[in-house]
Structure 1
Amino acid sequence: MALAGVGLSTVGLAHAQTQPTSTAPEQPAVLEPIVVTGTRSPSSARSVPASVDSVDLGLIAPGQPGINASEVLIRVPGLVVQNRQNYAQDLQISSRGFGSRSAFGVRGIKLITDGIPASTPDGQGQAATFNLDTADRIDVLRGPLSTVYGSNAGGVIEMFSRDGQGAPRVITEVSGGSDGLRKYRIGAEGEYNGVGFLFDASRMSTDGYRDHSAATRQQQFGKINLKPDADSRLAITVSGLHQRDTQDPLGLTWDQAVSNPRGVAPVALQYNTRKSIDQQQLGVNYERQLVNGSAVQLNVYGGNRKVGQYLAIPPTAQASPRHAGGVVDFDRDFQGVGLRWLQTVSQAPGKLNLVAGIDYDRTQDDRTGYENFIGSTLGVRGRQRRNEIDTVTSLDPYAQANWVLGAWTLQAGLRHNTVRVDVDDKYLANGDDSGQRRFSKTTPSAGLMYAINPDINVYVSAGKGFETPTQAELAYSADGSGFNGALSPSTSTQYEAGIKARINERTRLNAAVFDIDTKNELVVATAAGGRTSYRNAAQTKRRGVELSLDSAFARDWTALVALTYLDATYDGSVGTGTSRIASGNKLPGVPQTTLYSEVAWQPRPWVSTAIEGVVRSKVYVEDTNSAKAAPGYGVINWRTRFEQTAGAWTFRQTLRLDNLFGKRYIGSVIVGDGNGRYYEPASGLTWFAGASAQYAF
């Protein structure tokens, strides 16, 4: 975890050009992104022996709705970020294949916002907690060095909110778009008497592209940052997320998706499938500089999350006494603390920085389940079928070293991961489904970089990964009983080699090749009656290439290309239920090729426009690869924005068109759905328009 506000702002190359002040064209210069993720202290992305990118929200957000993280993370190679068109299930995010099987939310990737984990200790995360309206930047780390962030860290996505700086100012924003999209926002930020502040509140509502997919989301955020004295910094953040009765259209079969992509699974209407979320959290980050080049950083957080979800499980499936019902309800308290010591070793040759720390995270769920019917009335809360306390804790000490010696840079890390899962069943009417598992493993990682010259760095890195089953994956055994204590963690060995080059003052190129071998990967064992159970499978292999090119190739013109090629397969045959996964089968949910590109033009300081292109290859939807794969697709988007100033006022307008040619395609898939409803169609041609007014005091 990184201390909120510690990192410096990033300036992307594609926006680094200056506006002409004379008839002679000025040449834009390369401004290297500054990252914290991976090093835990501000470092140039080009000096880190790992695949790490920083996305500056201040530069690209004005052309985006500011609703989903998919809007900005799509430009990062190695990530697959797909909008399900379903706010009840959150985004689908995977990093080099990690997290691709998640049926809801994000798993296998460490999500962090302002030092607060947006992932639970068991690895399940919620990208909806990212508030893009207040974000300064998002760092994305892939590969071996991400394992120093703990278990379930196949990659790291870390968001930093803005510090309150400059003259106090207020802003109001109104926007709207296709399918009844509306968003209203009001905020204030700035600095007064040495105290920075940032307050923001927004409300988004939509009818949804698909039937029965309406949603309303309210977000609040507040931040105070200050310097108690010359040697310390303090930041306090508070946030809230509220979604009530968000409709869930479920997935579609292939025939349904082809005949009516706006359609809804009939059972979703029959049972009125929906989900409500209410979350609040508080975080405190403190840093103090000490003598002899040392510093201490402390991060403390806590919060509460309530979720109520109505599923489409028929009463006949709930006839089994071991069934937990068709309504999920939990009340979660979460808290944690992170403490670390940073030390510069001046006696060592070159520049040596050491980090030692410990992270403690805990969640406790008061989890209940109910039948989703009363008599013949469906989609209502009925008789109780579940009552348990689920507690997950992690306690992870770690150490890290960053050593620059001439043209060489060595970065090494070691973390001891301990995750404990306890289920205390209090229902007992159908037997005792209590259970307990403790997972622990030490994960090392190291990277070595060599500067061939000031413009070209090459590196290699390696590491061991550790991914525990999530609480949801442990919930059910294949025999229909409760806690699945037979599951083991999956482990991975990762290798990476790359090059980071500044081709000239206007162009930057990053490329990486990677190889990942994973053992005990989880696969679906059974999926029936609305319940999915899992088992450990044989090895998987993931090999791929990532490439990003960022260039200000001409006066007023910029370009960005992000390409990922990933060959993810099972390395060994596995029997699962009545099916068999053959060696060489492709991992579901993982496109082999992903390409994002854009060309932007800013002829004047007050206007800019850009064309974006997205290409993805086909995606398999289940482990046997026998069901219809979601076909590959390519779409084109367009955006433009304007800005005017009049005294203390600043006005901005945004217009955006997505899927310009109305391409019909599958935007995301539900991996291994037991009913064969794997497919979630994407929107056709959609529009978005927004306007804001800001007043500076």
Structure 2
Amino acid sequence: MSLFFRTVRRCGRTLPAFLGLGSLPALAAQNPSLPMLPHHGASMQRPVQSSQTPPPQKRNAHEKKRLAASEIIQVTGQARGPATLSPTGQTSYSAERKDFAGHVAQSVADMLVTVPGASFLQGNGPRDTVVSIRGSGARQSYGLRNLQVSEDGFPVTQPDGTARADLIDPHAYEGVDVFQGPASTLYGNYAINGAINFRTRSGASIHGLELGSDFGSFGTFNNYMTLGAGNRVYDFMLFASDVRSDGFIANSQYATSTENMRLRVSLSPKDRLVLKFINNVTDASLPLRLSLSQYRLNPYQQGCATAAGAAAGCGTVSLYRNGAYGAQTAVTPQQANLGRFDRRSIVGLRWEHDFTPRMFWRTQFTYDQRHIEQPTSTTSFVGPFNSYNVQTDLTRHDKLGTTPLTSFVGANFDYMDYGYQVYALLPQPGATRGSQTSTSYGHQWNIGLRFEEDWQFAPKWHVVIGLGGTQSDIGAVQTVFSHAATGTRAQYITANRRFFNLAPEASVVFAPDKAWTWHARLGTAYATPGYSSFFVTPQGNYGNNTQLKSQSSLGIDLGTEWHPSPSVNVQATGFYEFYRNELVSQSAGVNTQAGSYTFNAPASQHRGVELAVTWQALPRSLPGAKLRLSYTYDNQIYTNYAEILSNSTLSRSFSRKGNLIPGVMPHFLNARVLYDQPSGIFEGLGGFAEVTWRSAFYIDNANLLKIPGYGLLNLEVHYDPPARLGWVHRLHSYVEVQNVANTVYAAGATTISDTLLANGQQAGAATLATKTGSIYAGSPRAFFGGVRVRF
């Protein structure tokens, strides 16, 4: 069967995306050590002589065709399919294991820090990283939104568009692929800014047992193990980890355990089964998000054990003394035991069948349960979310005349049912529940169909056209309870919404010579509102907000890759995206029932530049040295939005046209100087110095209040003993210092709502700086070390 390969890495060089390499069994027979995992993006390596490792590469469909027998060749196979495929011409980057697995790597942020276009903020919990691609999730307080996320081709985004990074322990992964820009043609609903696919390690590459431990500041310990084995008939990987820490902010201690397994079995030369299992339990205490004024006074919330003796800058919540209504008492997060206890379990099974050497079929089923108990503010949110996902697709490699043509058609159906309850908290220890404030029961399903034609119509040209569509249905009923001395009143709010969206796309790739590749793409995407956004009012309370519309985008990408020599690789992409009815969320403050509400901005634009540079300055005299840089400029503005602000006596409308969309960092940069000694007595010794810089950004629609930017310096040294040292070769060790300068910075800052004063004017920056529910401080200087041994 011909494969549609998306990435070929050779010390910074790339090969064409479409390579006819024969059937999978034939490919395996040519190289018995090759794991048979091409359908979900497994990495496959051939014997090499060079010790140089390649940088992350942008994957375009028709790139330079140069081959040297002594170079590293790493081929990442991507089967056609909605969960694992980067459309031809789409801007895509990868981070490989060598970029993150050698150091402490606590969260998905450590995996994506070198990827242009990717940014991240601290969510609600230790590994709940808010990942943004081109600003997609910059206005969220938790999780990954406006993205389709998968692992080994199995979806980890639930039908309501929610994915969370708690599942991710970077030690388990071979790499991560980031597909940027509007991508609903192949990925369906919520791929408004692209998709991410995490790739776990293959059992054949592990080939035994690995035990590791990371330890360091704030009482942090991560003990983990990886077991793997594989051949042409099967491939098995099992990973487990247990992470514990006291945290660097008061009331931020946590314990989280993760299990991750993948089994691939070849039933016959034409049939394969892939079984996937993920389980995560997170038990985390949570501090409160601060106002900017509180953050400046007390970023790590020290001295905040009790409200009565709290130091300046402490966050508190006001809880009803009887748990229902009336008088309130202010308590700190420690007094109320605010936190999260979440469990997530995912099981998936995929069948892959080769009809002919040039046509294959995949069908997979995934069950995903998320059960949460979250006393995070004035209320406790409790409930299960059960999801079911079925995907099937057919890929055929053919010819149109004498030129290669690849046709893809796929369909998917996913369904989620949920039922949650919200309880007021009592001002006493143990996150004790009081009266019930609301309940919500409902469902969401999405059914989609998509096709794509990929035609290499000339040796230097490649073109793709495609169309996808999704029908979505959301049905939910929320009951809001109002408690008083005279009794309890129930208000019923019903949301029955159906949405239909289409997403066409077209792209072209041109490779005029060996040094240059150009790509251009016109992509579209859509995202329906999540069920929860229908039931939160602008005041941050539970109520009716069912008028929300789907958001949609049209994006234009123009990019190039310049590779004049093996030691230089430069990649640059400019993007311009037009949004309609963009869904924007804002915090109404800590002491509200729901906290954040969502609205539609009628028109907005996102435009920017992504740049990635890898430079080996002295390849002969200093072959182990390398500079890697990634930079993103992201400018997002409202082009049509009037915001209505209200106080107790009047309402006024304010035009936000031309204002920057809050929550989006205009500039972010990562630069690493790396060195690995390739030979001699110090062979295997290496390290890097890394600078990460984020610019200041607004967090309100009126552009009155800015969160300060920051720069961080990190240092790392590691040692991988060479094979000549015998059993010592099985050890890996490292030491790392993060935030060397001990910079105080805001790691997470959600957007806040502006305020209308009694005189009808907008409140200024000084007033907004006192508005709570926004900022988490980042880690102060921290020291870590670790060791891993392979058996």
> TM over 0.5, yes or no?
yes
Corresponding residue of 1:76:
115
Q: Do the aligned residues in 1 keep the contact of 2:91 with 2:179 (CA within 8 Å)?
A: yes
Does the alignment pair 1:650 with 2:730?
yes
Amino acid at match of 2:40: V
What is the aligned partner in structure 2 of residue 323 from structure 1? none
Q: For 1:161 and 1:550, how far apart are their aligned partners in 2? A: 25
Given residue 364 of structure 1, which amino acid in structure 2 is its aligned partner?
D
For the pair 1:213 / 2:252, whether they are aligned, the reply is yes
For residues 2-37 of structure 1, what are the alpha-carbon distances to aligned partners after superposition, in whole Å with 9 as ceiling and x for unaligned?
A: 9985324289xxx97449xxxxxx999585774639
Report the alpha carbon displacement of residue 442 of structure 1 after superposing the two structures with TM.
0.6
User: How far apart are residue 414 of structure 1 and its match?
Assistant: 1.0
State how far apart, in whole Å, the 2-side matches of 1:361 and 1:482 are: 27
C-alpha deviation, 1:106, in angstroms: 1.5
Would you say the 8 A contact 1:70–1:83 is kept in 2? Answer: no
2:639 aligns to what?
A: 571
The SS at the match of 1:379 is coil
Which of 315, 321, 325 is 1:265 aligned to? 315
More off after superposition, 68-77 vs 535-544: 535-544
Report how many aligned residue pairs link the two structures: 666
Secondary structure of the residue that 1:258 maps to in structure 2? helix
1:51 paired with 2:91, answer yes
Structure 2 match to 1:495:
556
d(CA) in 2 for partners of 1:35, 1:638: 34
Aligned to 2:720, the other structure's residue is in SS state strand
Partner SS for 1:433: strand
Q: Could you tell me how far apart the structure 1 residues matched to 2:613 and 2:161 are? A: 32
Match of 1:65 in 2: 104
Q: 2: distance between equivalents of 1:352 and 1:40?
A: 19
User: 1:231 & 1:451 partners in 2: Cα distance?
Assistant: 35
Specify whether residues 179 and 27 from structure 1 end up closer, same or farther in structure 2 by C-alpha distance, changes over 3 A only: farther
Residue 597 (structure 2) pairs with residue 549 (structure 1): no
Matched letter for residue 643 of structure 1: D
Alignment check: 8 A CA contact 2:608 2:635 kept = yes
Distance 1:358 1:344 in 2: 19
> Could you tell me which of 536, 560, 567 is aligned with 1:476?
536
Among residues 582, 588, 594, which one is paired with 2:662 in the alignment? 588
Aligned amino acid, residue 127 of structure 1 = A
Is 1:114 matched up with 2:152? yes
1:530 maps to which of 593, 596, 619: 593
For 2:445 and 2:209, the matched residues in 1 are separated by 41
What's the offset of the Cα at 1:64?
Answer: 2.6
Retained in 2: the 8 A contact 1:201–1:221?
yes
Counterpart of 1:509 (choices 551, 555, 570) is: 570
User: What is the one-letter code of the residue matched to 1:572?
Assistant: N
**1:149: how far off?**
0.9
Does residue 355 of structure 1 match 2:408? yes
* CA pair 39-670 structure 1, distance change in 2 beyond 3 A: same
Give, as a single letter, the amino acid of the residue that structure 1 aligns with 2:531.
Answer: Q
Deviation at 1:226, TM superposition (A): 1.9
Question: C-alpha separation between the residues in 2 aligned to 1:61 and 1:183?
Answer: 15
Aligned to 1:283: 348
1:513 deviates by: 0.6
CA distance in 2, matches of 1:88, 1:177: 15
Using a 3 Å threshold, how does the CA distance of structure 1 residues 206 and 192 change in structure 2: closer, same or farther? Answer: same
Matched ranges for 1:432-451 at <5 A: 432-451=492-511
The residue identity in structure 1 corresponding to 2:89 is P
Tell me the distance in 1 between the aligned counterparts of 2:375 and 2:407: 49
Give the corresponding residue for 1:23: none
Specify the code of the residue in structure 1 equivalent to 2:659: N
Contact 1:521 1:539 in 2 (8 A): yes
Distance 1:16 1:562, change over 3 A: farther
For residues 178 and 350 of structure 1, the distance between their equivalents in structure 2, rounded to whole angstroms, comes to 59
Distance 2:612 2:74 in 1: 14
* Shift in CA distance, 211/5, structure 1 to aligned 2, threshold 3 Å: farther
Aligned-pair CA distance for 1:654: 1.5
Give the structure 2 partner of residue 189 of structure 1.
228
Paired amino acid for 2:390: V
Residues 177, 689 of structure 1: 8 Å contact kept:
yes
Kept in 2, the 8 Å contact 1:611–1:636? The answer is yes
- CA shift in 2, pair 1:522/1:577, >3 Å: farther
Contact 2:739 2:780 in 1 (8 A): yes
Whole-Å separation in 2 of the counterparts to 1:37 and 1:139: 14
Structure possessing the higher relative contact order (Cα contacts under 8 Å, 6 or more residues apart): 1
Name 2:330's counterpart in structure 1: none
Q: Which residue of 2 aligns with 1:396?
A: 448
* Superposition deviation, residue 426 in structure 1: 7.0
- Aligned partner letter, 1:693: V
Whole-Å separation in 2 of the counterparts to 1:184 and 1:280:
21
1:626 aligns with 2:679: no
Residue by residue over 1:372-416, the C-alpha shift from the partner in whole angstroms, topping out at 9 and shown as x without a partner, is 128x77831122333332211111111112111221111222110
Q: Distance in 2 between matches of 1:538 and 1:346?
A: 44
Which AA in structure 1 matches 2:433? R
Note if 1:9 corresponds to 2:43: yes
Consecutive unaligned residues in structure 1, runs of 5 or more: 20-25, 314-325
> Which of 242, 246, 256 is the equivalent residue of 1:203?
242
> Is contact 1:29-1:505 (8 Å) kept?
no
Per-residue CA shift, 1:56-101, capped at 9, x if unaligned?
A: 12x12333323301001011111112345x5168112111122211
Cα-to-partner distance string for 1:343-392 (whole Å, 9 max, x where unaligned): 11234431110110011111111211222128x77831122333332211
1: distance between equivalents of 2:556 and 2:738? 37
Distance 2:121 2:95 in 1: 17
Partner of 2:212: 173
**Aligned partner of residue 119 in structure 1, secondary structure:** coil
Mapped contact 1:88–1:275 kept (Cα < 8 A) = no
The equivalent position to 1:382 in structure 2, one of 431, 434, 439, is: 434
Q: Name the residue aligned to 1:274.
A: 339
Asked if the contact 1:5/1:163 (under 8 Å) is kept, the reply is: no
Amino acid at match of 2:471: T
Letter in 2 for 1:456: W
Query: How far, CA to CA, are the matches of 2:229 and 2:376 in structure 1?
Result: 45
Q: Give the deviation of 1:270 after TM superposition.
A: 4.2
Provide the TM-score with structure 1 as the length reference. Answer: 0.89
**SS of match in other structure, 2:387:** strand
Residue identity (%): 19
- Change in Cα spacing, 1:31 to 1:377, as seen in structure 2 (3 Å) is closer
| TM-score, normalisation: structure 2 | 0.79
- Alpha-carbon distance in 2 for matches of 1:31, 1:168: 20
1:39 deviation in Å?
7.5
Q: Which residue of 1 aligns with 2:476?
A: 423
How big is each residue's C-alpha offset from its partner over 1:178-224, in whole Å with a ceiling of 9 and x where there is no partner?
A: 11111111221112783221112110011111111111110011221
Distance 1:340 1:16, change over 3 A: farther
What is aligned with 2:783? 687
Determine the C-alpha separation between the residues in 1 that align with 2:84 and 2:434: 54
Partner of 2:179: 141
In the TM superposition, residue 526 of structure 1 has moved relative to its aligned partner by 8.2
Provide the residue aligned with 2:15 in structure 1.
Answer: none
SS at match of 2:533: helix
The structure with the largest alpha-carbon Rg is 2
Secondary structure at the aligned position of 1:472 is classed as: helix
Q: Deviations over 1:509-559 (max 9, x none)?
A: 211111111121234588362333332223111111111112333211122
Q: Which runs of 5+ in 2 are unaligned?
A: 1-5, 7-36, 54-67, 302-313, 318-332, 482-488, 647-652, 755-770
Give the secondary-structure state (helix, strand or coil) at the position aligned to 2:101.
helix
CA 1:404–1:50: 2 relative to 1, 3 Å: same
2-side partners of 1:186 and 1:89: how far apart? Answer: 19
Q: Does 1:366 align with 2:443?
A: no
Kept after mapping to 2: 8 A contact 1:17/1:27: no
1:130 aligns with 2:181: no
Preserved contact between residue 490 and residue 521 of structure 1 (Cα < 8 Å): yes
Matched residue SS, 1:165: helix
Q: Distance in 1 between matches of 2:91 and 2:480?
A: 47
1:419-469 CA-partner distances (Å, limit 9, x unpaired): 211114478861322321111111111111111113311121112221211
Aligned match for 2:513, one of 426, 450, 453: 453
CA–CA distance in structure 1, aligned partners of residues 235 and 665 of structure 2? 43
